[in-house]
Amino acid sequence: MRIGQEYLEESNSIAVIVKHNSVIEAIERQMYHYAYHVGQIVYIAKQIKAHEWQTLTFPRKKPKLGDRTAP
């Protein structure tokens, strides 16, 4: 299903939690909502797989011998 340009205009609105939003604002709100849940899932996964978790960008710091402040 494709959304036509006429539905994306500011004149069209959708009620989300008793607040009227443009279609673009409603889509943006939903995308932020999905991103929030993805963050929750990642947080829980990190808690469950703490020692096996591998970061995608920067590797974790390795504690130095005798360093008590390192995680």
What's the rounded Cα separation, in Å, for the pair 71 and 67?
A: 9
- For residue range 1-31, list pLDDT tens digits in order: 677 777 666 667 666 667 787 888 889 989 9
The SS3 call for residue 20 is strand
Quick check: 53 and 46 in contact, CB under 8 A?
yes
Quick check: 7 and 25 in contact, CB under 8 A?
no
Whether pTM > 0.75 for this model: the answer is no
Residue 14's identity, in one-letter code, is I
* Of 21, 25, 23, nearest in space to 9 by CA: 23
DSSP one-letter code for 19: E
